[in-house]
Chains A and B, each alone.
Chain A
Amino acid sequence: GENVEQHPSTLSVQEGDSAVIKCTYSDSASNYFPWYKQELGKGPQLIIDIRSNVGEKKDQRIAVTLNKTAKHFSLHITETQPEDSAVYFCAATYNNAGNMLTFGGGTRLMVKP
């Protein structure tokens, strides 16, 4: 089955700096890679996703890159703000179905003002 590894487990940055979170996956058949942001005591919120037919996708301060050959994908947050502080999860699946989503272990991002 699919295995997703996420690094780092914790990340502390100064407000205004960039943050990068990296994930690797094992199943070359995976073709959908969402990223979720989870604030304390809340459910995960989909913030951006990418499918295997593109290598990069951007939405304002958030971007995701995908390297299918190396089987890794990354989340980039620029101009970080304190409200970006949360736990971020990457995930991978090959058929879009939620029961086949394999999650990474999560990254706790702390943005210091």
Chain B
Amino acid sequence: GAVVSQHPSRVICKSGTSVKIECRSLDFQATTMFWYRQFPKQSLMLMATSNEGSKATYEQGVEKDKFLINHASLTLSTLTVTSAHPEDSSFYICSAPQTGANEKLFFGSGTQLSVL
């Protein structure tokens, strides 16, 4: 299947710092990418939709100033957690749809963020 690369896989940072997570579609272009948050033993929660060339669309309750999304190109979306606090610690996952007659959604490998 298609490959979605996500980096870093794990990051530990101090409270108050910002952390950037990258999501790349390696063998296809994606005008749209999605960012999720996952708490332990829970399902995926959609945070926002990243749109190439325009502003991201955030789900209700997600602070857009806290979670900055930039879709710089057709293969790259970044999520920046600004002024991170311990409650932002979580597993963040991106995904990208491989469009076509039978569109499928592929996920990145996830980023475990720990804020001290």
Contacts and interface: CB of A to CB of B under 8 A. Distances in A.
B105 A34 contact: yes
Interface string A22-42: 000000000000101000011
Interface string B87-116: 000010101110000111111111010000
Given A43-B109, A44-B44, 15 more contacts: A34-B104, A36-B107, A41-B112, A42-B110, A43-B6, A46-B107, A49-B104, A96-B97, A98-B32, A98-B96, A99-B57, A101-B105, A103-B43, A106-B41, A106-B43
A8 to B, nearest CB: 14
Interface of B: 1, 4, 6, 32, 34, 41-44, 46, 49, 57, 91, 93, 95-97, 102-110, 112
Given A99-B49, A106-B43, A43 B112 contact: no
Interface in A7-65: 34, 36, 41-46, 49, 51
Query: Counting chain A CB atoms within 10 Å of each CB, which of B44, B57, B108 scores highest?
Result: B44
B93 A99 contact: no
Nearest to A42: B109
A39 to B, nearest CB: 10
Contact of A104 (B1, B43, B46, B107): B43
